Amino acid sequence: MLKIVTALSTTALLFALVEGSFVAAEAPPGSKQAGPSKAAVDRTRKTVKMLDDIYKSAIVLITENYVNDENDLPAGSAFVALFQSMDKKGWHKVRLIDLTGEPYEPENVAKDDFEKQAAKQLKDGKAFVEQVVDKDGKPYLRAMTAVPVVMQKCVMCHPQYANAKKGAAIGAISYTLPIE
Ligand code: HEC
């Protein structure tokens, strides 16, 4: 009985796999391949939201508990190193960028078309912007989330934040994740 159940579920799994690959397999040669499934995009978006929560919660915790004056290692600097490490290991690409026009580090600004478009929308009050893109035949989810001034301490090193409206996005985190 156990054997039959196993055999059955294996068959079901095989069908599911075959079904999943039909879209690409049936596309006529030379035609544009179908994009990723909605379920795959939803899963990737959920991962972005989880990462965003982890990164932001950690930045706030570190700033709250370990950054006391301008000579302490800012969470921003620690996370730039963390983000480089995530990229090097092939997990995902992520950047912390400025939206005020006065970045601490000139590198940290919106660079490509997606980031420039998303920056505008975040400044207009959106909290999350996303786009599915194709790179070398593989689908990726680009996403950008708002960074508001969460505490007075931020202003210690970023004096321009003092002029920001409460809750307004002064920065953003930009993500590029493969859609699997
Ligand atoms: C102790 C000083 C210090 C504090 C406090 C600090 N930052 Fe930063 N921040 C920096 C430095 C330095 C960088 C540049 C990091 C890099 O690229 O190496 C940076 C970078 C950033 C960036 C990327 C854009 C830019 O300006 O380069 C954002 C957004 C940012 N910080 C937001 C915040 C927020 C929000 C807070 C409060 C939770 C905060 N920072 C607190 C020093 C600080």
- Cβ–Cβ under 8 Å, residues 168 and 89: no
State how far the Cα of 1 lies from the Cα of 114, in Å rounded to an integer: 55
27 near 20, Cβ under 8 Å? no
The pLDDT value given to residue 33: 58
Question: For ligand 1, is residue 153 a contact (CB within 6 Å)?
Answer: yes
59, 96, 99, 158, best to mutate for ligand 1 pocket (most atoms within 8 Å of CB): 158
Q: Note the pLDDT of residue 172.
A: 98
pLDDT value of residue 21: 30
The pLDDT value given to residue 32: 55
**Could you tell me if 76 and 97 are in contact, meaning their C-beta atoms sit under 8 angstroms apart?**
no
Low-confidence ranges of the chain (pLDDT < 70): 1-33
Residues 6 or more apart in contact with residue 79 via CB below 8 angstroms: 55, 58, 59, 96
Q: Residue 4 corresponds to which tokens in the numbers above?
A: 């039959």
- Rounded CA separation 130/175 (Å): 9
